[in-house]
Amino acid sequence: MGIYLTPHYEYALAMAVRTHGLTFINDDKTIEFENPELFNPNESVFVYEVEVSEKYARQIDNNQFVVEGLEEITPTHKYTHKAGEIEQYYELKNWKKKNINESNS
């Protein structure tokens, strides 16, 4: 079993804003939620920065490394964001601000 990490900050933020259900983070910088009504742009989300030796990290695709063989990984920094900040990096294909008003009515 391993832990999956990314060296790309915007991809880490995209992973942090996922809702329950499937979330597709596409190479064309778009995100699609299975349940877009669950996305809350005001929700606090967190991105953790860590340092891991290349000895334990194996790249599995352009955005992810798997870390195996470590008992513990200690964050060196914690960044706090509002989920809606993802729109600085990705287009949310099936979520619009009007979805919030519809779900609150």
- For the chain, give every domain's residue range: 3-104
* Tens-digit pLDDT profile for residues 66-75: 999 998 999 9
Closest by CA to 48, choosing from 20, 87, 16, is: 16
Instruction: Count Cα atoms within 13 angstroms, Cβ side, for 18.
Output: 14
pLDDT value at residue 103: 52
Q: Could you tell me whether strands 77-82 and 30-33 are parallel, antiparallel, or unpaired per DSSP bridges? A: unpaired
Distance CA 22, CA 34 (A): 5
Closest by CA to 87, choosing from 45, 59, 49, 34, is: 45
* Tens-digit pLDDT profile for residues 19-50: 999 999 999 999 999 999 999 999 999 999 99
